[in-house]
Amino acid sequence: MTVIFGIAAGLALVGALGVVLSQRTLYSALSLVVNMVSLAVLFLLLDAQFLAAVQIIVYAGAVMVLFVFIIALLSPGAEERVHPLEVRLLLGGLAAVVFTLVIGRLTLNGITVAGNGRLHGGLGPFAPTVVNAHGQVQTLGEQLFTTYLLPFEVTSLLLLVAAVGAVYLSKRRRPLL
Amino acid sequence: MSGMFPGFLILSAALFAIGAVGVLVRRNPLVVFMSIELMLNAANLALITYARYTDTMAGQIFALFVIAVAASEVVVGLALITGVYRSGRRLDLDELSEMSE
């Protein structure tokens, strides 16, 4: 378990660094695919099987195909140069380290883990054993269509608006009459 | 299993920080979009970690919504980038600092 976490976390970090540091846009996109797939492995470790599948299908599938398609379509010829010793990249790296330490310290602040691996304090009814006995997708679906029905409908409206907006933006402008 | 809980959160913070630096440092709008995806994914990881370790479902549901919002954001953003490219300008955020013509 810990070994899988180590491998997936390392790959996720390498992928993330590859996105930021790659010279070519296409290499950034491929690094992002590595990052997405290792995150799907981490989701599996966290007993979120449905979200791991969604991560692969939506991100590594649809979104990344869209990215690669746009990169191939635009083929930005004059690539910007990212020198590893460039001043703002050094400052950025320093900021990233500080930010990680601060956020990590704050999120772990006051959290105590009991001996059985569960957090102290308000635990919900959805323990992994209960959820897996009932079915992960079933539990998620029941929650989505009862407690979270309104956000779900609003999200579908958002997807519709985004689709219409993309069609409008990429349409060739014709003079009005 | 309990020992991995801080690991997940620190990994999430590190991924978010790398994405934030990418947004600030890079000048190619496509790479900036990919860095935003990195940050959204890092937030998803934190949400699912908390959902797993507090025995709740809200984190997973919220992560699902985040994925949907990220997908629509990518669609609109890439359409905007294509529009900028078609108008004959270079894809460099330092030059595209104004949205007017």
Helix (H) or strand (E) holding A49: helix A49-54
Q: Does residue B96 lie in a domain region?
A: no
ipTM of predicted complex: 0.90
Q: Which residue has the higher pLDDT, A2 or A88?
A: A2
Looking at CA atoms only, how far is residue B65 from chain A in angstroms?
7
Tens of pLDDT along chain B (101 residues) come to 556 778 888 899 999 999 999 998 888 889 999 999 999 999 999 999 988 888 888 899 999 999 999 999 999 999 988 888 887 777 777 777 766 55
Radius of gyration of chain A (CA): 21
A2 near B CB under 8 A: yes
Q: What are the residues whose beta carbons fall under 8 Å from the beta carbon of A97, sequence distance 6 or more?
A: B17
pLDDT tens column, A21-55? 888 889 999 999 999 999 999 999 998 999 999 99
Number of domains in chain B: 1
CATH number assigned to the domain comprising residue B73 = 1.10.287.3510
- Is B9's CB within 8 Å of A9's CB? no
In a domain, B40, yes or no: yes
Q: Residues B49, B43, A14, CA angle at the centre, nearest 5°?
A: 90
Residue B22 lies in a domain: yes
Looking at residue A136, its pLDDT comes to 86
Q: Write down the pLDDT at residue A114.
A: 59
| Angle between helix B29-53 and helix A25-45 axes, rounded to 10 deg | 0
Q: Does A79 touch chain B (CB under 8 A)?
A: yes
**Angle B33-A59-B37 (CA atoms, 0-180°, nearest 5)?**
25
* Domain span including residue B36: 4-86
Contact A20/B21, CB-based, under 8 Å? yes
Which one is predicted more confidently, A97 or B94? A97
Residue B52 is predicted with a pLDDT of: 86
